[in-house]
Structure 1
Amino acid sequence: MSALVIGAGPAGLMAADALLRAGVPTTLVDAKPSFARKFLMAGKSGLNLTKMEPLAKFVQAYPTGASQLRPMLEAFGPEDVRAWAEGLDQTCFTGSTGRLFPTAMKASPLLRAWLSRLDGMGLERHTRWRWLGWDAGAFRFDTPDGTRHMTPDVTVFAMGGASWARLGSDGKWADQFAARGLRTTPFQPSNAGLLVDWSEHMRTHFGAPLKNVTFHAGNLTNRGEAVISVRGLEGGGIYPLGPALREGAALTVDLLPDVTRNALRDRLAKPRGKQSQSNALRKSLKLPPAAQALLMEMGRPLPSDVDALAGLVKALPVRHAGLRPMDEAISTAGGVPFEALDDGLMMRESPGLFCAGEMLDWDAPTGGYLLTACLATGLWAGQNAARYHASLPPVTQKKR
């Protein structure tokens, strides 16, 4: 056997694709009963493949790992993702925000077409094969047929991070790496909701969106939408701030980002007459009910000084208890640091072993960035694994 890919998510599938295209016989294994379960789950609400924007702007969306990912994204960026999907007979369209979706909206048709193509290229694949670590240099697996050992010429690891364990990304591979003396960094939640202990007054707003607001945490800023849930705040408005929030940065929200502080002060300075403060605020600020509720929840007692009140609306502190648990996060940071890998994603301390996808220590927001980088790193690792394989002496290939 020549090449082994462990983990059948988008990164692993792309690595296998690259190896097969290079003429390297490849076996792909996964611990779950079927392939790409997290990919399929993500596609249930509409499969966001990538974001159609210039590469320079695209790369800036990655809060960590951007410099290391750049060459991989240059080799396989948004336009390449579109071409790849259409090459699998999946027509695509670009939404109003620049996000690219397959016309079918789901992941399953694309996955079926991809697996069919890989099968036609000679892929050998197995499910319910859980990697147990190394045994005297061989890879040991627990399989439906008992313990199996494999000694490939080259291997690509693509076993995901440590979120959504029920779908296969449990992060347990890090223990095997540690036992082997291979470097990893601790996993941390990424693209996770924020825990907020709401008062009873917020109950009627559970499920309501906060729209057209801007969130700030540390040096990160994001304008987007977040939903008020029973446990806190969730959504694309919050997720990109994860790197700052998990480091303990305070969160503030600008409830009216299109209105200046001076303009707000002028509105608030108007006499309110016999109106209650809440009614006067509602009429002068014209906040949606959810935003008005958040202001009262986090800002009371509201300052009587007009300038201070305007400042509160522009930078409302949101008390919270940190990010949701890691297994509830969409993705994770942590894993194999880029410093432990060469430019081809091969482990410096173990020639012939490559890593890809969410196993690598990088952050990406939702909106197509996460999936694109998984595909790009999988392709990069697979292509470099194929080059490494080609450099091996024939006698080495036979013995391994």
Structure 2
Amino acid sequence: MPGDIVSDTANRLLNKVAVIGAGPAGLMAAEVLAEGGAAVTVYDAMPSVARKFLMAGRGGLNLTHSEELPAFLARYREAAAWLEPAIRAFPPQRLRDWCEALGEPTFVGSSGRVFPRAMKASPLLRAWLRRLDAQGARVELRHRWTGWDADGHLTFETPAGARAVAADAVVLALGGASWPRLGSDGGWVPILAAKGVAIAPLRPANCGFTVAWSDIFRDRFEGQPLKGIALSFGDRGVRGEAVVTRDGIEGGAVYALSAELREAIALTGGAILHVALRPDLATADLVTRLSAPRGKQSFSNVLRKAVQLSPVAIGLLQEAARAHGLSLSSLPPDRLAALINAVPLKLTGTAGLARAISSAGGIAHDELDADYMLKRLPGVFAAGEMLDWEAPTGGYLLQASFATGAAAGRGVLKRLEL
């Protein structure tokens, strides 16, 4: 519709910038741009903004982490080197100061994770949107980006029909492909691929894994937590909790190893995850407890009382024994003790991308310049989870989204010489 195309000279002097995607990366880019003097409009396909951000807030909104920056940066693995400038420019303390300026002070939890005192996302988001509005940033909802037309205008599908919009620069912040019902469905991939942009396949990250449970175990223990455990794979280990699902296992401790497990499964078709059910008990202590006379107690009662194993932990032991043709009650104490703290769990695949906390893959780093502009598409910048990086839960995902959004905003200002 010609009336919707903004192209007259007077408006162009305003340096109109389109931000596509109203999650943390897009909104942060919009804030940097508005503060820098650009006329900003944020477009999003959903009926409301930041839906995944709000979903994250249901669990307490882990914004960032308090650990020292060198250790913090190492969490980004192969992407640490190229993300470092953006995160150093917008580090965890600056994110905390930003929250406080919005009237939402933060605190450090016992694990070092940083949360807003309100322990949810909605108050922070409301304050942020009020500030963006005061800065002059506009938001256009129910605008699904479909690419560019022959004249280089951005094209959108809207309830009123197709719309074309001209802009002096664009920030793409469309997210990955996890939780697609919240807006990040990876629909941008074919649009950019058609322009020659190299994109690593989107894969589940911070995800669960499938296990071929027996029907007995699945029906009895689906949804049950495994608490106080330690997981190990290769030379990596982590303590925490996991949850038995109907088709496998998920939870914080599993997510921390998900990148290595996912790659191993992709390479060999499976992976063996070892579960320590009582990691705080030395093998010798376990042997002593298991060597005590059982009397008339059932074997399950011995495990429950002497070793303090929960019913689901005992069930997991029994699953491993069945898989290897073993009788738990017949094992000598030393072998049983070794099994308790190294239960082999065969993972057969990753849970679906739609259920993952986040996604790996995305726009390859080599496609970006130092200002987060796509080299093949001058004036088009990208930020957030649509870039090819991944990180564990613990505040690292949101921190990099905020930081790269800010970096892309600064890149636009530099290009427009504002």
Q: Scaled by the length of structure 1, what TM-score is found?
A: 0.92
The answer (yes or no) to whether the contact 2:203–2:353 under 8 Å persists in 1 is yes
Deviations 1:321-346 (Å, cap 9, x if unpaired)? 32211111111001101121122211
1:301-380 to 2 correspondences below 5 Å:
301=326, 302=328, 304-380=331-407
The counterpart of 2:314, out of the listed 292, 308, 327, is: 292
Provide the rounded CA distance (Å) in 2 between the counterparts of 1:218 and 1:17.
43
Deviations 1:257-303 (Å, cap 9, x if unpaired)? 22233433344344545654434444442223322221122234237
Provide the rounded CA distance (Å) in 2 between the counterparts of 1:281 and 1:116.
57
Letter in 2 for 1:382: G
The counterpart of 2:275, out of the listed 240, 249, 253, is: 253
Out of 174-183 and 269-278, give the one that drifted further.
Answer: 269-278
Aligned-residue Cα RMSD (Å) equals 2.0
The counterpart of 1:268, out of the listed 290, 301, 315, is: 290
The counterpart of 2:252, out of the listed 232, 236, 255, is: 236
Provide the rounded CA distance (Å) in 2 between the counterparts of 1:135 and 1:221.
50
Partner of 1:319: helix, strand, or coil? strand
Provide the rounded CA distance (Å) in 2 between the counterparts of 1:197 and 1:306.
28
Partner of 2:189: helix, strand, or coil? helix
The answer (yes or no) to whether the contact 1:53–1:78 under 8 Å persists in 2 is no
Provide the rounded CA distance (Å) in 1 between the counterparts of 2:372 and 2:91.
18
The counterpart of 1:222, out of the listed 212, 234, 238, is: 238
Alpha carbons of structure 1 residues 186 and 219: separation in structure 2 relative to 1, 3 Å:
farther
Residue 130 (structure 2) aligns with: 116
Residue 217 (structure 2) pairs with residue 195 (structure 1): no
The counterpart of 1:49, out of the listed 63, 78, 85, is: 63
Provide the rounded CA distance (Å) in 2 between the counterparts of 1:378 and 1:25.
17
The counterpart of 2:221, out of the listed 199, 205, 209, is: 205
Provide the rounded CA distance (Å) in 1 between the counterparts of 2:53 and 2:162.
28
Residue 94 (structure 2) pairs with residue 67 (structure 1): no
Provide the rounded CA distance (Å) in 1 between the counterparts of 2:230 and 2:187.
37
Residue 82 (structure 1) aligns with: 96
Residue 144 (structure 2) aligns with: 130
Percent identity at matched positions? 50
Residue 140 (structure 1) aligns with: 155
Partner of 2:47: helix, strand, or coil? coil
Task: Report the number of matched residues.
Answer: 391
Provide the rounded CA distance (Å) in 2 between the counterparts of 1:57 and 1:388.
33
Partner of 2:389: helix, strand, or coil? coil
Residue 154 (structure 1) aligns with: 169
Partner of 1:19: helix, strand, or coil? helix
Out of 297-306 and 363-372, give the one that drifted further.
Answer: 297-306
Provide the rounded CA distance (Å) in 2 between the counterparts of 1:79 and 1:155.
28
Q: Offset of 1:194 from its aligned partner?
A: 2.0
Partner of 1:318: helix, strand, or coil? strand
Letter in 2 for 1:312: L
Partner of 1:38: helix, strand, or coil? helix
Partner of 1:237: helix, strand, or coil? helix
Provide the rounded CA distance (Å) in 1 between the counterparts of 2:84 and 2:227.
32
Provide the rounded CA distance (Å) in 1 between the counterparts of 2:379 and 2:371.
11
Deviations 1:310-365 (Å, cap 9, x if unpaired)? 32222211123322111111110011011211222111222221111110111112
Provide the rounded CA distance (Å) in 1 between the counterparts of 2:86 and 2:240.
28
Q: Scaled by the length of structure 2, what TM-score is found?
A: 0.88
Deviations 1:136-155 (Å, cap 9, x if unpaired)? 22221112332222232211
Out of 160-169 and 269-278, give the one that drifted further.
Answer: 269-278
Provide the rounded CA distance (Å) in 2 between the counterparts of 1:316 and 1:368.
30
Letter in 1 for 2:205: S
Out of 348-357 and 228-237, give the one that drifted further.
Answer: 228-237
Q: Offset of 1:252 from its aligned partner?
A: 1.2
Provide the rounded CA distance (Å) in 2 between the counterparts of 1:142 and 1:135.
12
Provide the rounded CA distance (Å) in 1 between the counterparts of 2:347 and 2:24.
34
Deviations 1:349-395 (Å, cap 9, x if unpaired)? 2222111111011111222111111111111111112111118xxxx
Deviations 1:156-207 (Å, cap 9, x if unpaired)? 1100001111111000100101111111010100111222333243333333
Provide the rounded CA distance (Å) in 1 between the counterparts of 2:301 and 2:131.
62
Q: Offset of 1:58 from its aligned partner?
A: 1.8
Q: Offset of 1:225 from its aligned partner?
A: 0.7
Provide the rounded CA distance (Å) in 2 between the counterparts of 1:152 and 1:62.
33
The answer (yes or no) to whether the contact 2:291–2:333 under 8 Å persists in 1 is yes
